[in-house]
Structure 1
């Protein structure tokens, strides 16, 4: 018996976790033991910035070659320098394969053009526990439309980073939140794009407990009002300008809030508010919604 075969299963699994998807697919033909051990894959990661890894095409092909019995815990795809138009179909075939492998944690950070769209299967996956959709500034990564049967029954954490939403067939963002039946945490981070969204300006989810909004561009508002209908929310952190209005604020369960707010003059924040300026921000309803927060309230 060779030395590797004599190692405990846990150590072999740890060693195999460093292999590429293509190598992982090949190793399963060596013995039934390797096939069984590799039925659950901890991480499949392609990071364009990594110095030691195979080509993007090899990675996609390796994922497609995995045995049907394989299960994937986390799949991460980071392509910040741009994915070519000719690769879009290949990428989506890979994503659909990953979804069939029962992925729990899906992270997509891609620089794509406006002709790219995620496969509908992403929004009907029953196993995804955590979903991150991210992009770089200048990318046109957008969620334009969701399928009629959109449902993410296991999703608890949703992270959106510089990805646009549209409303071609109704508000895609609102429909996404409605499809998340057990959502606990929503993070909109470093997102200059969210002020360019075409959406209902309605953040509404009955199970959401933690909400973080960190806007990277505070020089212009772009939004005139936001509805916060989150009755189960216990934690709220926001770094943004104060909107013109907050038509509906339902924060009845809120116990902790960190608000870094800037006032706007004519929907613009330039760092200064003068005595004769007409302030367009109106936080009245939002402040009323914070009535249950006592010791955990910080406003800057």
Structure 2
């Protein structure tokens, strides 16, 4: 305690050490704040008056300008929008640097329903400053009319994210139809809540010659054809409206897609693929997929990690029938099957026998209602060729009543399992005899 008092008497706790930092360090600190918070630091001291003007990140969030609770009505909203527009204008005019690293605009109007065009007009001015990253999020906005040409011709962009949710109504997407595209440096493109014509998507992809990451979420696009030698990561979580999905990406490493419920999915030329996640929804016309789905799974034979999430009860039978001529999954180390029932075990059985390097098997959300089958008896496996000597780890989650039946089925195909993890217990070094002892 004596040392603390002595130190305090020297005034060490009263020194403003942050203000004494070099200008570039203080500017870097402000880059982690929103633009409004950064501007507010001008009142700290003379040293801070213009520091915010040198920050290269512009982050505008409409929720930083909350209306007072006692204000209501159309006039109050108009005043609120006017103040927000004036703030954006003043920031752009008073900046000391002409460079922008990140431009972030969050317009979530669930509470205020502002006229977003008042702010969207400034997007073109920001794009002229050459930002490296642009992130625009619109939530339930009115009168949206973004300057898409300014965004899609900003050659300095490396990362572009547009999240455009216009209405609580289902399938209400914002149309993106750029007249021209010049994104020569863009490596990451993330679109959420948009609709595009076939020609517009082709134009967009052709204008991104070095694209490495493509994310399409909640989008309405009927035909998607992706042919790229640079793409490494593809996430497509809006497959319900796709009539045709063709992917040819020789350098793709990660793939996460929903198989179209109405159209045709074709995966070609993917020798570099390491990690794949495939969601196969319940299908109305399952007959179309009797030949399509096995070919789709075959195209993933080089992966090291595979996740299959499916709601189609006939999938295992269809795949088992057509898997007889399938190539071996010689690189597969981690396999996850989601929404599997015991009658679906033919699918797990196939991978156990065709994946010589398989180390981890995860069965998530195993369904009791899909598990109407007889339990394997204690005499041992009768129809299984024990191809696998050892499997390191098995993880099981779902309905606990079918855990033992599933383990029995696994032990019909694997001599020794290192560990079996369930929500209720963990078994180490499990064999047929030890499990039933």
Fold match (TM-score > 0.5)? yes
Contact 1:102 1:128 in 2 (8 A): yes
| Change in CA separation of 1:248 and 1:236 when aligned onto 2, cut-off 3 Å | closer
Counterpart for residue 279 of structure 1: 287
1:42 corresponds to 2:57: yes
Tell me the CA shift for residue 115 of structure 1.
Answer: 6.1
**2:167 corresponding residue in structure 1:** 138
Distance 2:176 2:194 in 1: 10
SS state at 1:65 partner:
helix
Change (3 A) 1:19 1:286: closer
How many angstroms does 1:112 deviate by?
Answer: 4.0
Match of 1:201 among 219, 224, 227: 224
Give, in angstroms, the shift of residue 284 of structure 1.
4.0
More displaced 10-residue stretch of structure 1: 118-127 or 49-58 = 49-58
Aligned counterparts of 1:115 and 1:40: Cα–Cα separation in 2? 28
Q: 1:8: how far off?
A: 2.3
- Whether 1:185 and 2:213 are equivalent positions in the alignment is yes
SS at match of 2:155: coil
Q: Deviations over 1:92-137 (max 9, x none)?
A: 4311121122211111111445762433121111211111110226
1:147 correspondence with 2:179: yes
Tell me the C-alpha RMSD between the 2 structures. 3.7
Partners of 1:285 and 1:59 in 2: how far apart?
56
| Residue of structure 1 equivalent to 2:307 | 298
Any stretches of 5+ residues in structure 2 without a counterpart?
Answer: 1-14, 69-79, 310-437
Counterpart selection for 1:257 from 268, 271, 276: 276
Deviations 1:202-240, CA, capped at 9 Å, x for gaps: 23332110011224xx8xx33332111222211101245
Calculate the TM-score normalised by the size of structure 2: 0.53
Q: Pick closer, same or farther for the CA change 1:58–1:296 going to 2, 3 Å.
A: same
- Report deviation, 1:141: 5.3
Seen in structure 2, the aligned counterparts of structure 1 residues 291 and 22 have a Cα distance that, compared at 3 Å, is: closer
Higher helix share: 2
Aligned to 1:183, the other structure's residue is in SS state coil
Residue 211, structure 1, aligned to residue 246, structure 2: no
Contact 1:183 1:208 in 2 (8 A): yes
Task: Find the aligned partners of 1:242 and 1:250 in 2 and give their Cα distance.
Answer: 23
Distance 2:251 2:30 in 1: 42
Shift of 1:7: 3.3
1-structure distance, mates of 2:207, 2:109 = 31
Equivalent positions of 1:67-86 (< 5 A) are: 67=95, 69-81=97-109
Aligned residue in 1 for 2:246: 227
1:27-71 residue CA offsets vs partner (Å, 9 max, x unmatched): 6xx999976884442342324377599843134213431447332
Deviation of residue 20 (structure 1)? 3.5
Name the CA shift for 1:64/1:50 in 2 (closer, same or farther; >3 Å): closer
Q: 1: CA distance between counterparts of 2:30 and 2:305?
A: 46
Partner residue, 2:425: none
**Residue in structure 2 matched with residue 172 of structure 1 by the alignment:** 200
Corresponding position of 2:145 = 116
- From the superposition, tell whether residues 69 and 171 of structure 1 become closer, same or farther in structure 2 (CA, over 3 Å): same
Once the two structures are TM-superposed, the CA of residue 289 in structure 1 deviates from its matched residue by 2.1
Q: Which has the larger radius of gyration?
A: 2
Q: Distance in 2 between matches of 1:104 and 1:52?
A: 32
Counterpart-to-counterpart distance in 1, 2:29 and 2:301: 53
Question: How far does residue 285 in structure 1 lie from its aligned partner after superposition?
Answer: 3.8
Preserved contact between residue 244 and residue 283 of structure 1 (Cα < 8 Å): no
- Confirm or deny: 8 A CA contact 2:53 2:94 kept in the other structure: no
The structure showing larger relative contact order (alpha-carbon pairs under 8 Å, at least 6 residues apart) is: 1
Q: What is the alpha-carbon distance in structure 2 between the residues aligned to residue 60 and residue 51 of structure 1? A: 15
Tell me the distance in 1 between the aligned counterparts of 2:201 and 2:136.
17
Q: For 1:151 and 1:137, how far apart are their aligned partners in 2? A: 26
Q: Is the 8 A contact 1:21 1:63 kept in 2?
A: no
Instruction: Please give the alpha-carbon distance, in whole angstroms, between the structure 2 residues aligned to 1:177 and 1:146.
Output: 12
Q: TM-score, normalised by structure 1?
A: 0.73
Name structure 1 gaps, 5 residues minimum: 267-277
Count of matched residue pairs: 271
C-alpha contact 1:105 1:130 (8 A) present in aligned 2: yes
Change (3 A) 1:116 1:43: closer
Q: Please name the residue that 1:273 is paired with.
A: none
| Other structure's SS at 1:109 match | strand
